[in-house]
Amino acid sequence: MSDPILSVEGLGVNYGRVEAVRNVSFEVPEGALVTLVGANGAGKTSVLNAVSGLLRPRQGVITFEGNDITKWPAHRLVKAGLVQVPEGREILGTLTVAENLSLGGWHRKNSTLHAKVSEVYERFPVLFERRKLHAGALSGGEQQMLSIARALIAEPKVLLLDEPSMGLAPKIVDEVFAVIEEIRLTGTTVVLVEQNARRALAAADYGYVLETGEVSHFGPAHELLADEKVIEAYLGLD
Ligand code: ATP
């Protein structure tokens, strides 16, 4: 097998004395959709934030395209193609939809930015329709689409998605998962953090289950979906 585009080895994250993540390792093959699932507080966001440079891990090595990126700041990682869609969307409600999208291309020349924004509008016609509105006026689902679209402006090689289905109605969750599927069909590698384990595993190639800061199970996603222990512990309730 060729080298993974992204790999995490022995990751540890602390908040002061709280050990949130312990010895987490995973690999993301190029073009794959890998999901990290687990209960609230299991450490999924901490892992993702360490990968995207938003927090500095206590231990471990993160490798992206063969480079040790463990100490790279977030803005350098975005330029290199590792882009995160944060938990809770983090769109700027008082700016327009168009302005929010432009922020996704802060590091681009104006000409390339315009071309990229047009491309994104073709993919998300509702954002084109609402481009002059304040982003705060959008529905939750539209805001999630905006947050994903903003990340796409940066042309990620690896897109890191943190709980994109959070707080959305089932029909809108379907739409979000359809968009994720489309993104990976364009060849973009996706790392998806989700509490909605059944849904995420159904969409993924590989899955890692996090339990109190550690990986408890991992493997091909369809095998995890068929694993009685995983179902009992994480999938039984939905
Ligand atoms: P969620 O679904 O709530 O986002 P998660 O699986 O993403 O959960 P994390 O947010 O990574 O989990 O949290 C892992 C652990 O670290 C939890 O015990 C949490 O309380 C703790 N934690 C997270 N952020 C902080 C922080 N800023 N300060 C202190 N403890 C934190």
User: Residue with structure tokens 């590792």?
Assistant: 82
Residue 238 has pLDDT above 60, yes or no: no
Q: What is the mean pLDDT of residues 142-159?
A: 94
The tens digit of pLDDT for each residue in 88-133 reads 778 887 888 998 998 877 777 777 778 888 889 998 999 999 999 9
Angle of helix 140-153 relative to helix 110-123, nearest 10 degrees, comes to 140
**Residue ID of nearest Cα to ligand 1 atom 18:** 41
Determine the residue type at 221.
Answer: A
How many residues are recorded in the chain?
Answer: 238
Out of 8, 13, 44, mutate this one to test ligand 1's pocket (max ligand atoms within 8 Å of CB): namely 44
pLDDT of 104: 73
E strands in the chain? 6-15, 18-28, 33-37, 59-64, 67-68, 82-85, 158-162, 189-194, 206-211, 214-220
Ligand 1 atom nearest 42 alpha carbon: 6
Token reading at 174? 């379907």
The tens digit of pLDDT for each residue in 196-231 reads 899 999 999 999 999 999 999 999 999 999 988 887
- Percentage with pLDDT > 90 across the chain: 74
With contact defined as beta carbons under 8 Å apart, do 144 and 89 qualify? yes
Its ipTM equals 0.93
With contact defined as beta carbons under 8 Å apart, do 210 and 191 qualify? no
Out of 17, 45, 163, 192, mutate this one to test ligand 1's pocket (max ligand atoms within 8 Å of CB): namely 45
Residue 1 has pLDDT above 70, yes or no: no
Q: How far is the CA of 63 from the centre of ligand 1 (A)?
A: 23
Exposure pattern of 31-56 as b/e (b: 16+ CB <10 Å)?
ebbbbbbbbeebbbbbbbbbbbbbbe
Cα–Cα distance for residue pair 10/79, rounded to 1 Å: 25
**Residue ID of nearest Cα to ligand 1 atom 17:** 41
Comparing CA positions, the residue from 6, 4, 2 lying closest to residue 70 is 6
pLDDT of 228: 80
The tens digit of pLDDT for each residue in 169-191 reads 999 999 999 999 999 999 999 99
Q: How far is the CA of 195 from the centre of ligand 1 (A)?
A: 13
Q: pLDDT band at 236, cuts 50/70/90?
A: low
pLDDT of 52: 95
For ligand 1, whether the C-beta of 167 sits within 6 Å is no
Comparing CA positions, the residue from 64, 60, 55 lying closest to residue 27 is 64
pLDDT of 39: 87
Q: How far is the CA of 86 from the centre of ligand 1 (A)?
A: 14
Of 102 and 44, the one with more pLDDT: 44
Q: From the CB of residue 74, how many other CB atoms can be counted at a distance below 10 Å?
A: 15
For ligand 1, whether the C-beta of 105 sits within 6 Å is no
Cα–Cα distance for residue pair 133/35, rounded to 1 Å: 33
Residue 144 has pLDDT above 70, yes or no: yes
Q: What is the mean pLDDT of residues 55-60?
A: 96
